[in-house]
Amino acid sequence: MDVYTKSFEQFAESQAKGSSELYYFLSKQVIEDAELMEIIKEIPLSQPKPNLFFASMHFLVARSESELRAYYPSLTVNPLPFSDSFEHFKEFALNHKNQLIELFRSRLVQTNEVRRAAYLYPIFSGIAEQTSKSLTLIEIGTSAGLLLCPDAYNYEYIEEKTSFKIENAMASIYLKSENKGERLPNTIHSNFKINTRIGIDLNIVDLNKQDEYDWMLALIWPEHSKRRQQFIEASKIANGIQKDLYEGDLLELLPKVIQSISPENQIILFHTHVANQFPNKLKKDFELLLKDLSIARSFYHVYNNMYDADLHQDYLENGKVIKEKIFQSPDGHGRWFYWS
């Protein structure tokens, strides 16, 4: 089994199963189809292959009048049975081969899962309470910067079959998530201030550009209507909030960014579901850089998918890494998490 076939098999069983009937079914069919696999082999090795392939198809189908639209819950009110979709799916892919390859070469898998803010929010509020400082958030792999605005959303947390709400804004969305771990601390009810919001990415997404906005929608799986609605609402909110977004190499940009932050602010550097795409050398260089930067300025590092799927809260000071907390792996779309 080559790397492409293996990636679709893993995607089907570990991601799509129980979450997207259409993508689960199509993944299984694609694996057995030599013509489609030839097209898929044009996807760069650095990108998650099933995600980029299905997003590219979703993007093109949404802009077409193809009968394939009738099988996408995101594009029609009453979708036809997914089990009848493959013949139309394959035909569309073969007819749009060149457009697909162009998307493979020009687009990235960089979702902006706003519901991840539900598990970041209690971490950030706890740090703000502990340090008695306003926060500066620096996000690596920021995409469109939606996670830089956690204080602009409302939250509904489910704990032990009960729920409670955190309300930050009158006209905000509610991000609903289940805490399957220990009860959340009282600090989550404390207001905290974010003075500066900084995002770094190789490719900053400008949601004011229709083409980029449509691509972000295409990355959301067809059945995930709640994710889609949350993205649409969060985009409206985040677009009205001042953020400094920098495009380029994080190893070059990060030292300048950190040096520019007032010592009155507590820096939290964070990234979610990003570091898994780092080559091993970049991971090592990134870790060494963080240690070097902490000699002059201490900061928190909140992250997952560096070497495991768990969520980590580290504190870096004087070149040393203090591992303060480890939270069991949260759901990739923020539907649940484990507080500890």
Mean per-residue pLDDT of the chain: 95
Residue 60: closest CA among 250, 224, 258, 211: 211
Q: Read off the pLDDT of residues 160-193 as tens digits, 9 standing for 90 and up.
A: 889 999 999 876 789 999 999 999 999 999 989 9
What residue spans define the domains of the chain?
3-106, 114-337
- C-alpha distances in Å from residue 59, one per residue of 53, 87, 177, 212: 10, 19, 28, 11
Beta carbons within 10 angstroms of residue 170's beta carbon: 6
Single pTM value for the model: 0.90
What lies within 8 Å, CB to CB, of 280 at 6+ separation is none
Beta carbons within 10 angstroms of residue 131's beta carbon: 15
pLDDT for 179 equals 98
d(C-alpha 184, C-alpha 128), whole Å: 15
pLDDT for 2 equals 86
pLDDT for 171 equals 67
Beta carbons within 10 angstroms of residue 140's beta carbon: 21
Q: Read off the pLDDT of residues 39-66 as tens digits, 9 standing for 90 and up.
A: 999 999 888 899 999 999 999 999 999 9
Comparing 161 with 30, which gets the higher pLDDT?
Answer: 30
